[in-house]
Structure 1
Amino acid sequence: MTYCIAINLDQGLLFGGDTRTNAGVDHISTYKKLFTFSNGSTHAIAILCSGNLATSQHLIESLRREIELEEDNLLSKDSLFDCAKHAGRILYDIIQESAHNESDKLGDFSSNLLLGGQIKGERPRLFMIYPQGNFIEATRETPYFQIGEHKYGKPIIDRTIRYDLPLEQALNSTLISLDSTIKSNLSVGLPMDILLYEKDSYDLSRYRRIEEYDEDLLNMRQYWSNGLKQLLEELPTPKI
C-alpha cells in the first residue's frame, strides 16, 4: 500500500509520497512512486502513483518511451487537461490488457494517479486519475488530492490546507501528514519523496528524499509530538 498527496496552491504545487510496497508481511520493498516529466521551459509535470506496482511501472515506462520516440506524449500537449486525458487512457488500456491476460481473473490491477504541473500559457493544475481512465481536477475550494492509505494523515490536511497557504507551510503540513500515517500504518513507510514546484518556474529540481534518520524529520517529529502534548495539557476540559 502507499500514501501520496498532491496540493495545488497559489504559489505552486507540492507532491509527497512514501515508497513502501508490500505483498504480505514477508515481502516488503521500497519503490519510487513520484515521477517527473519536463523540458525545462514550457512543460513541468509530476505524477504520483498508488495501487498495483506492475501497472504503475508499465504506465511510467510507456509515458517515457513516447517521449524518447518523439511520439504523441505528455511534453507535446498544449494543456494539462490533455495530459490527464492521455495518461488516463493509457492507464485504462494497461489495466484492461492485464485483466484479459490473467487466467484466474482474481488479480487487482488497478492504480490511481495524481498528475499535476504547468504548461506554458496555463496556470498550475492538478488532477486525480482513476483506474477507469476518467479524472477530476483540484479547485480553490479543494486544492489537494490524496490516494492510498490517507485516513491517518487526512485530518491534518483537511484542517490546515487552503489555496493561499505559502508553499513552505504546506510542506510542513504534508510532512506531518505523511509521518502520522507512517506512525499508524505499517503498509506506509520511509523513505518519502517530496517535490516543490514554484509557479511559472518550469523547474522540478526542488526534490528531496527523506530517509529514516533524516535530522530535519526527527526534529519535526519531536516538535510536533511535544506540541500536541502541551496543547492537550492546556486545552479547556468540558464539564461532564
Structure 2
Amino acid sequence: MTYCVAMCLDDGLVFLSDSRTNAGVDAISTFRKMTVFEQAGDRVMVLLTAGNLAISQSVRQYLMEGREQRSLWEARDMFEAATLVGDAIRAVHRRDAESLKGFGIDFNISMIFGGQIKGERPRLFQMYSAGNFIEATQENCYFQIGEAKYGKPILDRVLTPQMPLDEAAKCALISMDSTLKSNVSVGLPLDLLVYGVDELAVSRFVTVDENNAYFKMIRKAWGQRLRQVFDEVRDPVWDASVSAEHPLRMSGGTHGSVPLYAVKPTGTGKGN
C-alpha cells in the first residue's frame, strides 16, 4: 500500500509520496514512489505511482527510454506528455496483463503525473489502469492515490488553489501524518517536491525520515491541537429542561413512526 498526494495551485505544484510497498510483521519493503523528469530551463515533470510495483517500474522505464513511442523529453506540452504516460501504461498492459491474469494478479496501477513544459502553465493529471486520465481544475485542485481516505479531510477543509506553496506543503504533510497514524501500510521516508510556476528546475526537494525536525514538530503539534480543539467542543446536553446554546434534545424511543428501540412493557399481564 502507499499514499501519494499532489496539488495544482495558482503558484505551482506540490507532490508528496511515501515509500512503503509492503507491510507485515516481518515484511516491510521500501521503494521510492516519486520519479522526477527534469531538463532545466525547458521542463520539469513528476510521476507518483501506486499499485503493483513491477507494473509501475515498467511504465517508468518506457517513459524514460521512449520504447515503442516518443519519450517525455520530446512532448510538446503537458497534455501530450500525459498521453504518452497513458500509452506506456497500455504498452505494459499488452505485454503483461494476460500473464498476470494467469497467476491471479490484476493489472493494478494508478498514477499522478504533473509538471510544466516551457510555454504553458503547470498542469496535473490522474492516470488510471486503462491509460486514460483526468486533469486537476480550480474546483478540484488535488489528487490522491493509494490509501487516500485518512488524509482527505484536511485537504477538503483547508486547501484552496490560492494557498501559498509552503502552506500547501504543510497541508500535504499533515495529510500524510494522518495517514501514517491510521495505517501501518504507509510509511517513512517521504519524498516532498515543491515547484513554483515558471521555475523550470527543481529547487525544493527533500526526503523526510523519522529524524526530520519539521515533520516531528508537525506530528506533535497537530496531535496536540486536535486534542485541544476536541476538549473545547462542548459535551451534548440531554435534559431538555436545561438551557443550552446548542442542545441535543432527548427524542424518546421513536423517530416519527419508526421504532428505534424496544421497551419491555411493565405491569398488567398474567405472569408479570
How high is the TM-score relative to the length of structure 1? 0.94
1:12 paired with 2:12, answer yes
Partner SS for 2:149: coil
Residue identity opposite 1:32 in structure 2: R
1:168-191: CA deviations, max 9, x gaps?
111111000001101100111111
Q: Which residue of 2 aligns with 1:97?
A: 95
Distance in 1, Cα, partners of 2:154 & 2:86? 29
Distance in 2, Cα, partners of 1:147 & 1:121? 29
1:34 paired with 2:34, answer yes
Q: Percent sequence identity over matched residues?
A: 43
Q: Which residue of 1 aligns with 2:232?
A: 234
Structure 1 residues 184 and 95: alpha-carbon distance in aligned structure 2, compared to 1, 3 A threshold: same
For the pair shown, which has the larger CA radius of gyration, 1 or 2?
A: 2
Distance in 2, Cα, partners of 1:38 & 1:127? 17
Distance in 2, Cα, partners of 1:78 & 1:24? 44
How far 1:236 sits from its partner (Å)? 3.9
**From 83, 86, 89, the counterpart of 1:85:** 83
| Paired residues for 1:83-232 under 5 Å | 83-102=81-100, 104-232=102-230
Greater relative CO, 1 or 2 (CA 8 Å, sep 6+): 1
Distance in 2, Cα, partners of 1:103 & 1:51? 15
Q: Which residue of 1 aligns with 2:48?
A: 48
Structure 1 residues 13 and 136: alpha-carbon distance in aligned structure 2, compared to 1, 3 A threshold: same
Residue identity opposite 2:55 in structure 1: T
Structure 1 residues 23 and 53: alpha-carbon distance in aligned structure 2, compared to 1, 3 A threshold: farther
CA contact (8 A) 2:125 2:136 kept: yes
How far 1:38 sits from its partner (Å)? 1.4
Structure 1 residues 108 and 102: alpha-carbon distance in aligned structure 2, compared to 1, 3 A threshold: closer
Residue identity opposite 2:38 in structure 1: S
Aligned residues: 237
Partner SS for 1:153: helix
Distance in 2, Cα, partners of 1:99 & 1:42? 35
Residue identity opposite 2:35 in structure 1: F
Q: Which residue of 1 aligns with 2:257?
A: none
Residue identity opposite 1:239 in structure 2: P
Once the two structures are overlaid, the 10-residue window that deviates more, 73-82 or 95-104, is: 95-104
Q: Which residue of 2 aligns with 1:3?
A: 3
Q: Which residue of 1 aligns with 2:73?
A: 75
1:34-54: CA deviations, max 9, x gaps?
011111011110000000000
Distance in 2, Cα, partners of 1:239 & 1:116? 48
Distance in 1, Cα, partners of 2:44 & 2:196? 10
How far 1:109 sits from its partner (Å)? 2.7
CA contact (8 A) 1:114 1:128 kept: yes
Structure 1 residues 227 and 102: alpha-carbon distance in aligned structure 2, compared to 1, 3 A threshold: closer
CA contact (8 A) 2:100 2:106 kept: no
How high is the TM-score relative to the length of structure 2? 0.83
Q: Which residue of 1 aligns with 2:64?
A: 64
Alpha carbon RMSD of aligned pairs, Å?
1.6
Distance in 2, Cα, partners of 1:101 & 1:143? 37
